[in-house]
Amino acid sequence: MIAEVTEPWQSECPPRKPPDSCNPRVAVLSFSRNLARHPETRVNENLTPIACQQVLQQDASVFSIQWLDLPPELAERQPPQRLLASYLVHIRRFTCGLVRPVRTDAEVEFRLWRTPWSLLRFSLGPVESAQQPGEQLSLRICGGLLVQARSCNRGELVFSRRPQGEKTRIALLLADYCPLLLGGPEPSLLRKWLYRFTQAAIHKIVTVRFLRRVYRELAGAGACCRVVKVQVRCGEEI
């Protein structure tokens, strides 16, 4: 059975109003007064962080991870199965239907618009216990137009939830993926830049906005986040 998922879209955080005056001096004074009245507006330190790393590893495979640490009472409402379902809806909405996720009992495909062409195809595994306490759902890459032909059975997309100190971490991991745009294990500088400013940039934006959307659904529409860089693995940043 083939199923496509649809779901209402949630808007971004409402933008803050600019100062009434265009005079830089007035704007600075106004901002200073706001800081004094509202300490929580100082820089973005009190916003919930979304951790992010995306690198090209030594063998020219992609490693990309993004995570969000939540209070356990919020994170318990987002098991890996629900994360996957919400992510597929998010992909369709974010791309305005250009990328059409299709899910069967055994596979997940990202198809190009209304065509049968599969951009990425994954084999859907069961939810299993992670190496650390928690649970994860792994989707093994098994083909697609955006995968190198020699590496079509390499790489995975993982949705996980596990305890992290006093909080619970929900994470999306893309590991050992070999994009067609890189061409092979020794991509040229041109190919690296092409991948970095197209597919890599899109994946990072999609994933960060997805986690931000999940956070707002759990904590309220006014909840906002900030992106912070982390280092989990060594590699060339993309």
- Condensed to tens digits (0 to 9), the pLDDT of residues 55-75 reads 999 999 999 999 999 999 999
Mean pLDDT score of the chain, rounded to an integer?
Answer: 82
- Cα gap 50→211, rounded to integer Å: 8
Answer whether 168's CB lies under 8 Å from 76's CB. Answer: yes
β-bridge pairing 48-56 and 225-229: parallel
**What does DSSP assign to residue 187?**
-
Instruction: Answer yes or no: is pLDDT of 8 > 90.
Output: no
pLDDT for the residue numbered 29: 42
Asked if 201 contacts 20 with a C-beta cutoff of 8 angstroms, the reply is no
Q: Residue 13 above 60 pLDDT?
A: no
Residue 24 has pLDDT above 80, yes or no: no
Mean pLDDT of 146-151: 91
Distances 189 to 135, 148, 176, 180, 195 between C-alpha atoms, Å: 38, 18, 20, 15, 10
pLDDT of residue 3: 52
Instruction: Give the per-residue pLDDT at 128.
Output: 72
CATH fold for the domain made of 48-237? Alpha-D-Glucose-1,6-Bisphosphate; Chain A, domain 4 (3.30.530)
In the predicted model, is pLDDT for residue 177 greater than 90? Answer: yes
- Check pLDDT > 70 for residue 184: yes
| Residue 233 phi, psi dihedral angles, 5° rounding | -130, 155
Q: What are the DSSP E strand ranges found in 23-92?
A: 48-56, 62-70
pTM of the model: 0.77
Report the first-to-last Cα separation within the chain, whole angstroms: 37
**Do residues 45 and 162 touch, judged by C-beta distance below 8 A?**
no
